[in-house]
Structure 1
């Protein structure tokens, strides 16, 4: 990431780190898949594909031409927002990295990770209510205050904001759809309501940006960015809705089939 006011050495280190980390994450995931396949049922190839695509989506948001252009173009910035805070997290959650990690580590390490997942802070931050506020609230603070312009004058603030966008998007996705090992589970109704509210908050924010450009952004560019946020965000959120509903109806169908099987066994059992 090149940033005004940053030292050349720091920029070079961040550039190197940004290019190296995606490779490390992809190779590390594949190594864990290989270890897991030696002990358990073969890890689904779709999850490997989701992981690679997710890492690439996040990478495009922090390095390369789109990331560079995002420093001067609000439309390009909004593309990185969708990649970093929405599409990338969704793909990475579908890859179930925590579940894979638990399948590959030692028993001692597995117990430590399980204990960590049950930590009070982890349980709080991964609850869909808290995750929704952290995700939507962070975006409102970014675009409805001077934070957007301030982050372009401070490299560390710039990095901090983007780390928050990614983590908030990841935790929110994790709290809505249950693909991973989770420390607690909430009802479908609660998650559905919060997802709808988050979609509304995202949509309203995009309209706010359209009508109230962030400091330093001209009206035409703000309108393009707001429209991209609105329609691009809707497309990704619809995928979340489909997955959430699919999981709900699949679980109900399995429950119904299980109940039918039980009734059938009872009916065929001779009476004493």
Structure 2
């Protein structure tokens, strides 16, 4: 049985990855800073990594310091790869974001630097478009105001289950370097997505599309974060909303 370490195993994507790999017969080691985990560790300091990586045949690196916009991600990735190098050099799959090399957003710059570390190690980089959950979070934040402002940009939301399935395939059949980008099944407009969220939750608030200035939002407007040539065939945004809000008025 193959031993696989999943970092960020309690996160939005990590939970899906760990669960799917287990159904495929893998012995999954979930690394988390939360107490009570079988493999508790801290990527930022390296604590617990030797035990977690001992005998591992592969690593799926999902963890990211999103609350602090990736502030510790570079050190965390370096610590993970340094430990992996001295504990059998297991294959490492790193989950990144489509457009990190074309959009001048600080968090994306950190992701791109981490990709360089993974590439130098000899691992696999998988870039995906925005998760349904991430897009939902943006819509929820916008809907807190009396007027709902939606950036007038395209989006290609994807299910974390679809991303997890692609990761599981890469565990079984590793691809050196950068794998093909993975996008959601459809490209939509953010105002359209936000409007559908308002309808699903029974909100009658007015939606206002906005065009924001600057190079970052220009890149988003131009679709630098999309992967239309490699869409998944899985869950669409409308299906995600229906599953999340089965009855109008749910919040």
* Coarse TM-score class (shorter-chain normalised): under 0.3
Query: Which structure: greater strand fraction?
Result: 2
The two structures have a TM-score, normalised by structure 2, of 0.26
Query: Which structure: greater helix fraction?
Result: 1
Larger radius of gyration: 1
The two structures have a TM-score, normalised by structure 1, of 0.25
